[in-house]
Amino acid sequence: MSELWKYLLAFGVWPGLLCAAPLGWLELWFMRKLVARLQGRQGPPFFQPFFDFMKLLGKETVIPRGVGRGIFLALPIVSLAAVTAALAIVPMPGNPIPSLPGDVVLLLYLMEVPILCEVLAGYVSRSIYGQVAAMREALLSLAYNLPFLVAIIAMAQHVGSFQMQALQGAPFSVVHVVAGLTFLLALPARMKLNPFSIANAEHEIIADSHIEYSGPPLALFKLSHAIEVVLLTELFAVVFVPATPWPLVSAVLYLAVGIAVLGLVTLLATSTARLRLTQAFRFYWLWGGLASVATMAATLVW
Amino acid sequence: MSILSRVVAIARRKSPWICRLNAGSCNGCDIEITPLLSPRYDAEQLGIELHGTPKHADIVLISGTLTHRSRKAILDIYDQVPSPKAVVALGSCPASGNVFAGSPTVLNESLDTIVPVDVWVPGCPPRPQAILDGIARAAKLLEEGATRSQLARSLQGQQAQPQPQPAQPDLTQPELARCEQGRP
C-alpha cells in the first residue's frame, strides 16, 4: 500500500501534476516574456498561462460532426497522463518513487505518447489543416528522434545501466558534453519551437493538430505541452548536469539549468524563421546523424 | 458565485483570444489590426492572442461591408466559436455599409441583424487604440457575463426552468411571430 501511495504522490504532487503545472506555466510565461522582450514588446503578465488555462476550462467544447466523441475527448487526457507519468519517473530531488531497473526505456516510451496523441488528434479531427499538421508532426518526429534517442541511449551505454538514477549519478565526463549537445540539437524540434515549428505553423496551417479542439480538452493539451516543456528541460538537467550530494542545491541547480536551456532555445526560436519539412528532415538526418555517431563514438572511447 | 467560477470569469477578461473575419472589407480595418500585435501597441500585454481558427477564439472581430456572399460565412464562423463569445464590429461598414451602401452586391443591413454585436468600433478605418479599446470592452463584458450571446443563453436557461407564471393571454404570439419574421 505504501508503494502505491508513493507512486500516487509522485504522479499527483511532486514532481507530478500539482507542482509541474505551476512550473510549466512559469516556464511558458518565461518563454513568452523573453520572446516579447527580444521583439521589443512588453509581453504578457505573469499569470497569463494560468489565465489562459482557466478560461479554456470555462468554455464550451465543440465536437465536430462525424468525429468519435470518445477518442476526441480521450486523447488530451492520455497525453496529459503520459507526460505526467514520464515526469514522475525522472529522479528529481525528493521524488518519492524508487528507481526501477529499465525506467529509462519506460521514460522514452512515455515521452512518445504525447506526440502520438497529437498525431491522432490531427487525423481524428477531420480537418484538412489538422491532418496536414498531424502528417508533419509524425514525419518530424522521425527526424528529431534520432539525435534525441541516441543522446539518452549513449548515456545509458556509457553508464552501463538503463536506470535513471545511474544516469544521474554518473561521474562527469566528455560523453556528458557530447551527448548533451546532441540532446540540445533535438530540443527545439521536440518543443515545436521556431526553426522547427513546422507542425504548428500558425501562418500556413492556422494551428497545430488541435485546430478542432476547444474548451477543456484544448486546455488539457496546453497543460500537457507545459508539462512537456518542464519534462524536457528537467530531463536535460538530470541526465547531463552533474548531481550534487545536497538535494536542495540539486533542485535549485536543476531549475536554473532548465531556465537557462529554455532561454537558449527561445533565443534560437526568436532569431530564426521556419524551415520547410524537407530542410528540417535533412538537417536532422545529416547533422543529427553525425552528432549521434560522434556521441556513440565518445561512449566507446571514454 | 463560487471561487472557481470567479477565477474563470477573471480569466475571461485576462485572456481574450481573437479571431479576425473579413466580411468583404477593403482591408483598411484589417491592416489596422496588425499594429496591435507590434511593439507599439503590443496587445499581448492584455493577454490578447490572434488565433486563426474560430474554435480557439473568444472574440470575433468582424470587419467590412457585408456582402451577399459573406452572410453565410459570418453565420458559420459565429456558430463555430464556442460560447461564451463576443462580437466586435470594426469600422463603419458593418453598421451602415459606409460608402458601399446601395451597391447591388452589398447586403443593405447592419451586422446586428446577422449576429449579435457587443461592441461597435467606429471609424474608417478605426485607429489601433480604438480597436484595442473595443477588444478590452468586449473582454470586460465576457467577464461580467453580459455579452448578448451570454445574456440570451442565461435567458434561455431561465425559461427552461418551470416557473409559476400567471396565465397569459395568447395575444402576443402573432406579434412575436411577426417580429421573428423580420429577423433573418
Cell numbers standing for residue A129: 489543416
Chain A residues with CB under 8 Å of B8 CB are: 54-55, 57-58
Q: Distance between CA atoms of A48 and A32, rounded to whole angstroms? A: 10
Tell how strand B86-90 and strand B119-121 pair up: parallel
**Per-residue pLDDT at B183 exceeds 50:** no
A217-225 mean pLDDT: 92
Instruction: Choose the closest CB to A207 out of B9, B47, B51.
Output: B51
User: In this predicted model, what pLDDT tens digit does every residue of B82-91 receive, in sequence order?
Assistant: 988 999 999 8
Could you give the percent of chain B with pLDDT greater than 70? Answer: 85
**Residue of higher predicted confidence among A126 and A265:** A265
Q: Do B7 and A54 touch (CB under 8 A)?
A: yes
B56 touches chain A (CB under 8 A): yes
* Alpha carbon of B166: minimum distance to chain A alpha carbons (Å): 34
> What does the alpha-carbon distance between residue B85 and residue B12 come to, in Å, rounded to a whole number?
10
Query: Residue A111 in 3-state DSSP?
Result: helix
Check residue B179 and give its pLDDT.
Answer: 43
Is pLDDT at B64 greater than 50 in this prediction? yes
What pLDDT does residue B160 have? 64
pLDDT over 70 at B181, yes or no: no
ipTM: 0.82
Please give the average per-residue pLDDT across A92-110, as a whole number: 85
Average pLDDT over residues B136-148: 90
User: Mean pLDDT across the stretch B118-135?
Assistant: 92
* pLDDT at B166 exceeding the cut of 70: no
Does residue B174 carry a pLDDT above 70? no
Question: Which chain B residues touch A44 with a CB distance below 8 Å?
Answer: 44-45, 47
Residues in B closer than 8 angstroms to A206, CB to CB, are 52-53
Which among A47, A58, A202 has CB closest to B12? A58
CB contact under 8 A, B11 and A52: yes
Interface of B with A in 79-138 (CB under 8 A): 80, 82-84
Length of chain A: 302
| Band (B161; pLDDT cuts 50, 70, 90) | low
Closest chain A residue by Cα to residue B41: A41
Between B11, B44, B80, which is nearest A43 by CB?
A: B44
- Only one residue has cell 541516441, namely A150
Average pLDDT over residues A52-65: 89
Beta strands in chain B (DSSP E): 17-22, 49-50, 59-63, 86-90, 119-121
Contacts of B153 in chain A (CB under 8 A): none
Give CA separation, A26 vs A48, A173, A260, B13, in Å. 9, 32, 13, 20
- Cα B110 to Cα B107: distance, rounded to the nearest angstrom: 8
Res. B1 pLDDT band, cuts 50 70 90: low
Q: What is the pLDDT at residue B169?
A: 45
Q: Looking at beta carbons, which residues of chain B come within 8 Å of A57?
A: 8
Work out the average pLDDT over B38-45.
Answer: 89
pLDDT in tens, A227-286: 999 999 999 998 888 878 888 888 889 999 999 999 999 999 999 988 888 999 999 999
For residue range A160-198, what is the model confidence (pLDDT) as tens digits?
888 888 888 888 888 889 999 999 999 999 988 888 888
Question: Mean pLDDT over all residues of chain A?
Answer: 89
**Average pLDDT score over residue span A127-146:** 90
Q: Is the separation of the CB atoms in B14 and B49 below 8 Å?
A: no
For residue B83, what is the nearest residue in chain A, using CA coordinates?
Answer: A60
First to last CA, chain A: 43
Report the pLDDT averaged over residues A208-232: 91
User: Residue B58: which of B157, B153, B138, B154 has the closest Cα?
Assistant: B138
**pLDDT band (50, 70, 90) for residue B5:** confident
**3-class secondary-structure state, position A289:** helix
Buried (b) or exposed (e) across B150-169, using 16+ Cβ within 10 A? beeeeeeeeeeeeeeeeeee
Cα–Cα distance measured from residue B127 to residue A175, given in angstroms and rounded to the nearest whole number: 58
Does B167 have pLDDT greater than 70?
no
C-alpha cell at B11: 480569466
